Amino acid sequence: MSQRDTILHLFAGGCGGTVGAIVTCPLEVIKTRLQSSGLTLRSVYIPQVNLNTINGPGVVRPARVAPGLLQVLKALDISEGCAAEINDIGEITFGIVCSALVSFKEELSVENRLGKVYKLYTRAIYFAAYSKAKEKFNAVFVPHSNAVNMCSAGFASFITNTLMNPIWLVKTRMQLESRKRGEKASNAFQCARHVYQTEGFKGFYRGLTASYAGISETVIHFVIYEALKKNLEEWRFTVRDNDKNVSDFLGLMIAAGISKMCASCTAYPHEVIRTRLREEGTKYKTFLQTARLVAIEEGYSAFYRGLQAQLIRQIPNTAIMMTTYELIVHVLG
Protein backbone atom coordinates (compact mmCIF):
# COMPACT_ATOMS: atom_id res chain seq x y z
CA MET A 1 0.00 0.00 0.00
CA SER A 2 1.44 3.37 -1.02
CA GLN A 3 1.58 6.40 1.25
CA ARG A 4 -1.18 7.98 -0.83
CA ASP A 5 -3.47 4.99 -0.17
CA THR A 6 -2.77 5.17 3.56
CA ILE A 7 -3.63 8.89 3.63
CA LEU A 8 -6.75 8.18 1.56
CA HIS A 9 -8.03 5.60 4.08
CA LEU A 10 -7.07 7.94 6.93
CA PHE A 11 -9.05 10.78 5.34
CA ALA A 12 -12.03 8.60 4.36
CA GLY A 13 -12.22 7.03 7.82
CA GLY A 14 -12.11 10.44 9.50
CA CYS A 15 -14.83 11.82 7.25
CA GLY A 16 -17.03 8.74 7.68
CA GLY A 17 -16.74 8.80 11.46
CA THR A 18 -17.39 12.54 11.60
CA VAL A 19 -20.51 12.49 9.42
CA GLY A 20 -22.00 9.55 11.34
CA ALA A 21 -21.21 11.16 14.70
CA ILE A 22 -22.82 14.49 13.80
CA VAL A 23 -26.09 12.80 12.83
CA THR A 24 -26.35 10.55 15.89
CA CYS A 25 -24.58 12.58 18.60
CA PRO A 26 -27.54 13.09 21.02
CA LEU A 27 -28.09 9.35 21.41
CA GLU A 28 -24.42 8.87 22.32
CA VAL A 29 -24.92 11.03 25.43
CA ILE A 30 -28.16 9.24 26.38
CA LYS A 31 -26.54 5.82 25.95
CA THR A 32 -23.63 6.74 28.21
CA ARG A 33 -25.97 8.08 30.91
CA LEU A 34 -27.98 4.85 30.79
CA GLN A 35 -24.80 2.78 31.17
CA SER A 36 -23.48 4.71 34.15
CA SER A 37 -23.88 3.71 37.78
CA GLY A 38 -25.15 7.20 38.65
CA LEU A 39 -28.41 6.45 36.87
CA THR A 40 -29.22 3.75 39.43
CA LEU A 41 -29.15 6.35 42.19
CA ARG A 42 -31.64 8.48 40.28
CA SER A 43 -34.05 5.66 39.52
CA VAL A 44 -37.75 6.45 39.40
CA TYR A 45 -40.23 4.93 41.81
CA ILE A 46 -43.28 3.05 40.55
CA PRO A 47 -46.01 2.42 43.14
CA GLN A 48 -47.04 -1.20 43.68
CA VAL A 49 -50.29 -1.75 45.62
CA ASN A 50 -50.80 -4.81 47.79
CA LEU A 51 -54.55 -5.17 48.54
CA ASN A 52 -54.36 -8.45 50.52
CA THR A 53 -52.83 -7.17 53.75
CA ILE A 54 -53.60 -8.14 57.33
CA ASN A 55 -54.49 -4.57 58.28
CA GLY A 56 -56.97 -4.26 55.47
CA PRO A 57 -55.97 -1.04 53.64
CA GLY A 58 -53.73 -1.31 50.62
CA VAL A 59 -50.04 -0.58 51.14
CA VAL A 60 -48.07 1.33 48.55
CA ARG A 61 -44.52 0.03 48.16
CA PRO A 62 -42.00 1.78 45.93
CA ALA A 63 -40.21 -0.32 43.34
CA ARG A 64 -36.91 0.97 42.05
CA VAL A 65 -36.46 0.65 38.31
CA ALA A 66 -34.02 2.20 35.85
CA PRO A 67 -35.42 4.99 33.64
CA GLY A 68 -35.84 4.31 29.94
CA LEU A 69 -34.50 6.17 26.93
CA LEU A 70 -37.32 8.73 26.75
CA GLN A 71 -37.17 9.42 30.50
CA VAL A 72 -33.45 10.18 30.31
CA LEU A 73 -34.00 12.38 27.26
CA LYS A 74 -36.72 14.32 29.08
CA ALA A 75 -34.59 14.65 32.23
CA LEU A 76 -31.65 15.98 30.22
CA ASP A 77 -33.85 18.61 28.58
CA ILE A 78 -35.48 19.68 31.86
CA SER A 79 -32.38 19.83 34.03
CA GLU A 80 -29.62 20.71 31.60
CA GLY A 81 -31.27 21.86 28.39
CA CYS A 82 -30.77 20.54 24.89
CA ALA A 83 -27.12 21.58 25.02
CA ALA A 84 -26.46 18.51 27.17
CA GLU A 85 -27.26 16.30 24.23
CA ILE A 86 -25.20 18.14 21.67
CA ASN A 87 -22.43 19.60 23.81
CA ASP A 88 -19.78 18.11 21.58
CA ILE A 89 -21.32 18.53 18.09
CA GLY A 90 -19.24 21.68 17.56
CA GLU A 91 -16.13 19.71 18.45
CA ILE A 92 -17.13 16.87 16.15
CA THR A 93 -17.79 19.23 13.23
CA PHE A 94 -14.24 20.49 13.55
CA GLY A 95 -13.13 16.90 13.01
CA ILE A 96 -13.92 16.88 9.31
CA VAL A 97 -11.45 19.72 8.83
CA CYS A 98 -8.85 18.08 11.04
CA SER A 99 -9.09 14.81 9.12
CA ALA A 100 -7.82 16.58 6.02
CA LEU A 101 -4.99 18.09 8.07
CA VAL A 102 -4.18 15.01 10.15
CA SER A 103 -0.62 14.94 8.79
CA PHE A 104 -0.10 18.48 10.04
CA LYS A 105 -1.54 18.01 13.53
CA GLU A 106 1.45 19.79 15.06
CA GLU A 107 -0.23 23.01 13.90
CA LEU A 108 -3.19 22.33 16.19
CA SER A 109 -3.14 23.53 19.77
CA VAL A 110 -3.15 21.08 22.68
CA GLU A 111 -6.74 22.04 23.47
CA ASN A 112 -7.90 21.32 19.93
CA ARG A 113 -6.19 17.94 19.91
CA LEU A 114 -7.85 16.96 23.17
CA GLY A 115 -11.23 18.59 22.74
CA LYS A 116 -12.10 18.55 19.07
CA VAL A 117 -10.63 15.54 17.33
CA TYR A 118 -11.57 12.45 19.34
CA LYS A 119 -14.34 11.48 16.92
CA LEU A 120 -12.29 11.87 13.79
CA TYR A 121 -9.02 10.32 14.99
CA THR A 122 -10.73 7.13 16.14
CA ARG A 123 -12.09 6.28 12.70
CA ALA A 124 -9.16 7.74 10.79
CA ILE A 125 -6.65 5.62 12.73
CA TYR A 126 -8.88 2.56 12.63
CA PHE A 127 -9.49 2.49 8.89
CA ALA A 128 -5.87 3.28 8.09
CA ALA A 129 -4.70 0.44 10.38
CA TYR A 130 -7.40 -1.91 9.07
CA SER A 131 -6.53 -1.40 5.41
CA LYS A 132 -2.79 -1.72 6.13
CA ALA A 133 -3.27 -4.88 8.22
CA LYS A 134 -5.54 -6.37 5.57
CA GLU A 135 -2.82 -5.97 2.98
CA LYS A 136 -0.30 -7.75 5.24
CA PHE A 137 -2.62 -10.58 6.31
CA ASN A 138 -3.65 -11.22 2.69
CA ALA A 139 -0.07 -12.34 2.14
CA VAL A 140 -0.27 -14.74 5.11
CA PHE A 141 -3.76 -16.26 4.82
CA VAL A 142 -6.09 -16.95 1.91
CA PRO A 143 -6.67 -13.47 0.44
CA HIS A 144 -9.87 -11.73 1.57
CA SER A 145 -10.89 -14.70 3.73
CA ASN A 146 -12.60 -14.55 7.13
CA ALA A 147 -9.23 -15.12 8.81
CA VAL A 148 -7.87 -11.99 7.11
CA ASN A 149 -10.91 -9.93 8.10
CA MET A 150 -10.82 -11.14 11.71
CA CYS A 151 -7.10 -10.53 12.19
CA SER A 152 -7.23 -7.15 10.46
CA ALA A 153 -10.19 -5.97 12.52
CA GLY A 154 -8.63 -7.23 15.75
CA PHE A 155 -5.27 -5.58 15.03
CA ALA A 156 -6.86 -2.27 14.03
CA SER A 157 -9.03 -2.28 17.17
CA PHE A 158 -6.04 -3.00 19.41
CA ILE A 159 -4.05 -0.11 17.94
CA THR A 160 -7.01 2.29 18.05
CA ASN A 161 -8.03 1.39 21.61
CA THR A 162 -4.49 1.79 22.91
CA LEU A 163 -3.93 5.16 21.27
CA MET A 164 -7.39 6.66 21.79
CA ASN A 165 -8.35 5.51 25.30
CA PRO A 166 -7.27 8.80 26.96
CA ILE A 167 -9.48 10.82 24.61
CA TRP A 168 -12.38 8.39 25.00
CA LEU A 169 -12.10 8.67 28.78
CA VAL A 170 -12.31 12.46 28.57
CA LYS A 171 -15.32 12.15 26.25
CA THR A 172 -17.11 9.83 28.70
CA ARG A 173 -16.42 12.14 31.65
CA MET A 174 -17.83 15.09 29.67
CA GLN A 175 -20.96 13.12 28.78
CA LEU A 176 -21.53 12.10 32.42
CA GLU A 177 -20.99 15.63 33.74
CA SER A 178 -24.12 16.88 35.47
CA ARG A 179 -24.87 20.59 35.43
CA LYS A 180 -27.77 22.96 35.85
CA ARG A 181 -29.60 24.54 32.94
CA GLY A 182 -27.55 27.39 31.54
CA GLU A 183 -24.40 26.32 33.36
CA LYS A 184 -21.39 26.17 31.05
CA ALA A 185 -19.93 22.71 30.52
CA SER A 186 -16.25 22.02 31.03
CA ASN A 187 -14.26 21.77 27.84
CA ALA A 188 -12.10 18.81 26.96
CA PHE A 189 -8.85 20.46 28.04
CA GLN A 190 -10.23 21.31 31.50
CA CYS A 191 -11.55 17.79 31.90
CA ALA A 192 -8.21 16.25 30.86
CA ARG A 193 -6.32 18.50 33.28
CA HIS A 194 -8.64 17.47 36.12
CA VAL A 195 -8.10 13.78 35.36
CA TYR A 196 -4.33 14.24 35.40
CA GLN A 197 -4.36 16.23 38.64
CA THR A 198 -6.61 13.80 40.52
CA GLU A 199 -5.63 10.42 39.07
CA GLY A 200 -2.32 10.91 37.33
CA PHE A 201 -1.34 9.67 33.90
CA LYS A 202 -2.67 6.17 34.54
CA GLY A 203 -6.13 7.65 35.02
CA PHE A 204 -6.37 8.20 31.27
CA TYR A 205 -6.23 4.43 30.74
CA ARG A 206 -9.13 3.45 32.96
CA GLY A 207 -11.44 1.13 31.04
CA LEU A 208 -8.73 -0.01 28.63
CA THR A 209 -9.23 -3.68 29.54
CA ALA A 210 -12.93 -3.37 28.71
CA SER A 211 -11.98 -1.74 25.41
CA TYR A 212 -9.76 -4.71 24.62
CA ALA A 213 -12.70 -7.00 25.42
CA GLY A 214 -14.71 -4.92 22.95
CA ILE A 215 -12.39 -5.98 20.14
CA SER A 216 -14.72 -8.96 19.76
CA GLU A 217 -17.52 -6.60 18.71
CA THR A 218 -15.37 -5.04 16.00
CA VAL A 219 -14.26 -8.45 14.74
CA ILE A 220 -17.85 -9.71 14.52
CA HIS A 221 -18.96 -6.51 12.79
CA PHE A 222 -16.27 -6.54 10.10
CA VAL A 223 -16.43 -10.28 9.42
CA ILE A 224 -20.18 -10.05 8.75
CA TYR A 225 -19.82 -6.78 6.85
CA GLU A 226 -17.03 -8.08 4.59
CA ALA A 227 -19.02 -11.25 3.88
CA LEU A 228 -22.13 -9.25 2.93
CA LYS A 229 -20.01 -6.82 0.90
CA LYS A 230 -18.42 -9.71 -0.99
CA ASN A 231 -21.84 -11.15 -1.81
CA LEU A 232 -23.00 -7.74 -3.02
CA GLU A 233 -19.93 -7.44 -5.26
CA GLU A 234 -20.53 -10.90 -6.74
CA TRP A 235 -24.17 -10.06 -7.35
CA ARG A 236 -23.22 -6.81 -9.07
CA PHE A 237 -20.83 -8.50 -11.49
CA THR A 238 -23.35 -11.27 -12.15
CA VAL A 239 -26.29 -8.99 -12.88
CA ARG A 240 -24.47 -6.08 -14.49
CA ASP A 241 -20.79 -5.65 -15.22
CA ASN A 242 -20.43 -1.92 -14.67
CA ASP A 243 -19.37 0.69 -12.19
CA LYS A 244 -21.03 1.21 -8.80
CA ASN A 245 -24.22 3.23 -8.63
CA VAL A 246 -26.55 4.48 -5.91
CA SER A 247 -28.13 1.06 -5.32
CA ASP A 248 -24.72 -0.45 -4.55
CA PHE A 249 -24.02 2.11 -1.83
CA LEU A 250 -27.53 1.58 -0.48
CA GLY A 251 -26.69 -2.12 -0.26
CA LEU A 252 -23.47 -1.33 1.62
CA MET A 253 -25.47 0.84 4.01
CA ILE A 254 -27.85 -2.03 4.76
CA ALA A 255 -24.94 -4.47 5.14
CA ALA A 256 -23.21 -2.13 7.60
CA GLY A 257 -26.41 -1.74 9.64
CA ILE A 258 -27.07 -5.49 9.82
CA SER A 259 -23.49 -6.35 10.76
CA LYS A 260 -23.35 -3.69 13.47
CA MET A 261 -26.66 -4.78 14.95
CA CYS A 262 -25.42 -8.37 15.27
CA ALA A 263 -22.10 -7.26 16.78
CA SER A 264 -23.66 -4.80 19.24
CA CYS A 265 -26.20 -7.28 20.59
CA THR A 266 -23.51 -9.94 21.04
CA ALA A 267 -20.80 -7.88 22.74
CA TYR A 268 -22.75 -5.05 24.39
CA PRO A 269 -21.98 -5.87 28.10
CA HIS A 270 -18.38 -4.71 27.71
CA GLU A 271 -19.64 -1.18 27.00
CA VAL A 272 -21.46 -0.99 30.33
CA ILE A 273 -18.36 -2.24 32.15
CA ARG A 274 -16.17 0.23 30.26
CA THR A 275 -18.40 3.18 31.18
CA ARG A 276 -18.40 2.15 34.85
CA LEU A 277 -14.59 1.90 34.88
CA ARG A 278 -14.28 5.39 33.37
CA GLU A 279 -16.52 7.06 35.95
CA GLU A 280 -14.80 9.40 38.37
CA GLY A 281 -14.16 8.19 41.91
CA THR A 282 -16.16 4.96 41.71
CA LYS A 283 -15.85 1.57 43.38
CA TYR A 284 -15.12 -0.09 40.06
CA LYS A 285 -11.46 -1.05 39.72
CA THR A 286 -10.92 -3.93 37.28
CA PHE A 287 -12.85 -5.58 34.45
CA LEU A 288 -13.78 -8.80 36.29
CA GLN A 289 -14.45 -7.04 39.60
CA THR A 290 -16.79 -4.58 37.85
CA ALA A 291 -18.64 -7.35 36.01
CA ARG A 292 -19.12 -9.28 39.26
CA LEU A 293 -20.26 -6.20 41.19
CA VAL A 294 -22.79 -5.15 38.56
CA ALA A 295 -24.21 -8.68 38.39
CA ILE A 296 -24.56 -8.94 42.18
CA GLU A 297 -25.97 -5.46 42.84
CA GLU A 298 -28.12 -4.86 39.77
CA GLY A 299 -28.65 -8.22 38.11
CA TYR A 300 -27.60 -9.42 34.68
CA SER A 301 -30.12 -7.16 32.95
CA ALA A 302 -27.91 -4.20 33.93
CA PHE A 303 -25.35 -5.34 31.35
CA TYR A 304 -27.85 -4.40 28.65
CA ARG A 305 -28.91 -1.00 29.96
CA GLY A 306 -28.76 1.50 27.14
CA LEU A 307 -28.88 -1.16 24.42
CA GLN A 308 -31.98 0.40 22.90
CA ALA A 309 -30.26 3.77 22.56
CA GLN A 310 -27.13 2.01 21.32
CA LEU A 311 -28.98 0.23 18.52
CA ILE A 312 -30.96 3.33 17.52
CA ARG A 313 -27.70 5.25 17.39
CA GLN A 314 -25.20 2.69 16.12
CA ILE A 315 -27.14 1.19 13.23
CA PRO A 316 -27.62 4.48 11.30
CA ASN A 317 -24.25 5.76 12.54
CA THR A 318 -22.38 2.74 11.20
CA ALA A 319 -24.41 2.69 7.99
CA ILE A 320 -23.62 6.36 7.33
CA MET A 321 -19.98 6.01 8.38
CA MET A 322 -19.21 2.92 6.30
CA THR A 323 -21.04 4.25 3.23
CA THR A 324 -19.25 7.60 3.47
CA TYR A 325 -15.94 5.77 3.82
CA GLU A 326 -16.62 3.49 0.85
CA LEU A 327 -17.84 6.41 -1.27
CA ILE A 328 -14.75 8.54 -0.60
CA VAL A 329 -12.39 5.61 -1.25
CA HIS A 330 -14.28 4.84 -4.47
CA VAL A 331 -14.28 8.42 -5.74
CA LEU A 332 -10.76 9.43 -4.74
CA GLY A 333 -9.20 6.01 -5.20
Q: Which segments of the chain are extended strands (E)? A: 44-50, 59-65
More confident residue, 70 or 101: 70
pLDDT digits (tens, 9 = 90+) for 95-149: 433 443 333 333 333 333 433 455 567 778 888 888 889 889 999 999 888 899 8
Percent of all residues in the chain with a pLDDT value above 70, rounded to a whole number: 66
Q: What is the pLDDT of residue 45?
A: 41
Q: How confident is the model at residue 60 (pLDDT cuts 50, 70, 90)?
A: very low
Amino acid 94 reads: F
Most confident of 210-219, 246-255, 276-285: 210-219
pLDDT(211) > 90: yes
Residues forming a β-bridge with 64:
45
Distances (CA, A) of 330 to 12, 211, 225, 248, 325: 10, 31, 17, 12, 9
Q: Would you state the pLDDT for residue 234? A: 84
Q: What is the pLDDT of residue 51?
A: 40
Nearest-angstrom CA–CA distance, 240 and 229: 16
The pLDDT score that the predictor gives to residue 242 is 63
Residue 126 in any domain: the answer is yes
Provide the strand spans (E) within 51-125: 59-65
71 band by pLDDT with thresholds 50, 70 and 90? low
The whole-angstrom separation of Cα 256 and Cα 315 is 8
Looking at per-residue confidence, does 145 or 247 come out higher? 145
The rounded distance, in Å, linking the Cα atoms of 329 and 151 is 22
- With cut-offs at 50, 70 and 90, classify the pLDDT of residue 10: confident
Given a cut of 70, whether residue 287 has pLDDT beyond it is yes
In this structure, the number of other CB atoms found within 10 A of the CB of residue 160 comes to 24
Q: What is the pLDDT of residue 86?
A: 44
Q: Is residue 56 part of a domain?
A: no
More confident residue, 227 or 38: 227
Most confident listed range (136-140, 176-180, 323-327): 136-140
Residue 182 reports pLDDT greater than 70? no
| Average pLDDT estimate for 71-94 | 49
Check residue 215 and give its pLDDT.
93
Q: What percent of the chain shows pLDDT beyond 90?
A: 26
**19 located within any domain:** yes
Higher pLDDT: 291 or 61? It is 291
User: How many whole angstroms separate alpha carbon 62 and alpha carbon 46?
Assistant: 6
Structure letter (DSSP) for residue 205: G
The number of helix segments (H) and strand segments (E) in the chain equals 14, 2
Q: Give the mean pLDDT of 192-199.
A: 91
Q: Give pLDDT, residue 14.
A: 72
CATH of the domain at 151: 1.50.40.10
Residue 53, φ and ψ in degrees, nearest 5: -110, 160
Q: What is the pLDDT of residue 185?
A: 64
Q: How many domains does the chain have?
A: 1
Residues of the domain holding 80:
3-43+61-332
Q: What distance in Å separates the CA atoms of residue 139 and residue 115, rounded to the nearest whole number? A: 39
| pTM given for the model | 0.69
Specify which residues 63 forms β-bridges with. Answer: 46
- Return the higher-pLDDT residue of 141 and 314: 141
Name the more confident of 220 and 32. Answer: 220
**64 pLDDT higher than 80:** no
Domain contains 55: no
**Does some domain include residue 48?**
no
Name 152's Cβ contacts closer than 8 Å, sequence gap at least 6.
Answer: 130, 133, 134, 137, 222
Residue 49 located in a structural domain: no
Q: pLDDT at position 282, please?
A: 77
**54 falls within a domain:** no
Task: Name beta bridge partners: 205.
Answer: none
Residue 154 lies in a domain: yes
CA distances from 203 to 269, 278, 329, 330 (A): 22, 9, 37, 40
If pLDDT is split at 50, 70 and 90, which confidence band does 183 have?
A: low
Strands 44-50 and 59-65: antiparallel
